[in-house]
Amino acid sequence: MNYRRLGKTGLMVSEIGLGAEWLERHSSEECIQIVKYCEEQGINILDCWMSEPNVRTNLGIALQGRREKWFIQGHIGSTWQNEQYVRSRNMSEVKPAFEDLLERLGTDYIDLGMIHYVDEEKDWNEILDSDYLDYVYGLKEKGIIRHIGMSTHNPVIAKKAVESGIIEMMMFSVNPAFDILPPTEDVDTYFADEFDEKLGGIAPERAELYRLCEQHDIGITVMKGFAGGRLFDEKRSPFGTALTPAQCLHYCLTRPSVASVMVGFDTTEQVDDAVKYESVSDTEKDYASVLANAPRHAYSGQCTYCGHCKPCPVNIDIAIVNKFYDLATMQPNVPESVKSHYELLEHHADECIRCRSCETRCPFGVKITDRMQKAAEFF
């Protein structure tokens, strides 16, 4: 298992995480088996957004004696009312629900305290000056939560959160299908049977968000990495072709600032399928060829940092140079952190010999040599 730094939290989390939602339908014994097996495979981060009491209790049993081996992403505002989940900012509901989470998980702290599910601008604005946010800050002051995060599907709200300075990380929905869609406050839009045929490439708001997160050192944990399994079925995929789990995982993990993809598991075999990502070949991870040859929604002309451009005869890491260039050009002035990271590269854009061999391998038709020249001038 590979581990990545989760932004400014400094936590080293496994690239594959455990999204525990599916464990709601499992017995305590099955839950223990899956959690323990994930741990044996090197997985060390789990997300528990669910308010349903039984799954919380079962997770707590599974974590007994091994709490220190896990980073827990726990949500503040996920409540259980009248036998069903309700998102709430009402402190008479939020506080007991979070205390219930601690009690049922058998822990006195949560590593990543998540401002739960903010997709609407109205909700975000109301949170900013509220007893709910005061409560979150209070939990952080007391060490009951170690870091503040937020979950959202909306890149506009995510950007506001990053720029606010409130959060240290976020849980965001990432996959190649969602990435082509414009911002929306209605998450169901992302699961439409068909997308507009005119869509293509990463929506600028989402591309900007990824770069902004990297600039502000906001780590991302991914939800919806498989788009609910639709990307595995060519008939349901908006691209008109199917991707594999490894390809979806690789797409997520090549986005700027992404540290871990939270995957839901029903069986230990499904854990194996996901963890296999760490040992498969580059060819098996290759999402770019699939997207480039898909009958719908091409990513033409856009660098996705897929690495197809390798090898460079002068050993420039083209994908990383492109990533730093994209990140830097967001700002009127080059951020010092980006400039420093660029300067630390062993080889730079000005070493490009314009042989264009990289361009013959790029599945998206990116004019790489022109970008290398622009990057060299920019830096």
Across all residues in the chain, what is the average pLDDT?
90
Q: Domains plus CATH for the chain?
A: 3-292 (3.20.20.100), 318-378 (no CATH)
> Minimum mean pLDDT among 29-38, 193-202, 255-264, 271-280: which range?
193-202
Q: What is the pLDDT of residues 155-183, one digit of tens each?
A: 999 999 999 999 999 999 999 988 888 88
pLDDT of 78 reads: 94
Cβ neighbourhood burial of 197 (10 Å; 0-12, 13-18, 19+): exposed
Note whether 185 and 156 are within 8 A (CB).
no
* 274, pLDDT greater than 70: yes
Kind of pairing between the strands at 71-76 and 12-14: unpaired
* 348, pLDDT greater than 90: yes
> Among candidates 59, 42, 40, which has minimal Cα distance to 4?
42
The arithmetic mean of pLDDT across residues 193-201, rounded, is: 67
Kind of pairing between the strands at 169-173 and 219-223: parallel
> Among candidates 373, 278, 269, 275, which has minimal Cα distance to 318?
373
Kindly report the pTM of this predicted structure. Answer: 0.88
Q: What is the pLDDT of residues 202-258, one digit of tens each?
A: 888 998 999 899 889 999 999 999 988 888 888 888 888 889 999 999 999 999 999
Note whether 203 and 183 are within 8 A (CB).
yes
Instruction: Give the Cβ contact number of residue 12 at 10 Å.
Output: 14
> Among candidates 264, 263, 191, 261, which has minimal Cα distance to 25?
264
> Minimum mean pLDDT among 216-220, 223-227, 266-270, 341-345: which range?
341-345
The pLDDT confidence band at residue 17, using thresholds 50, 70 and 90, is very high
In Å, what is the CA distance from 292 to each residue of 47, 235, 296, 311, 357? 33, 18, 9, 20, 18
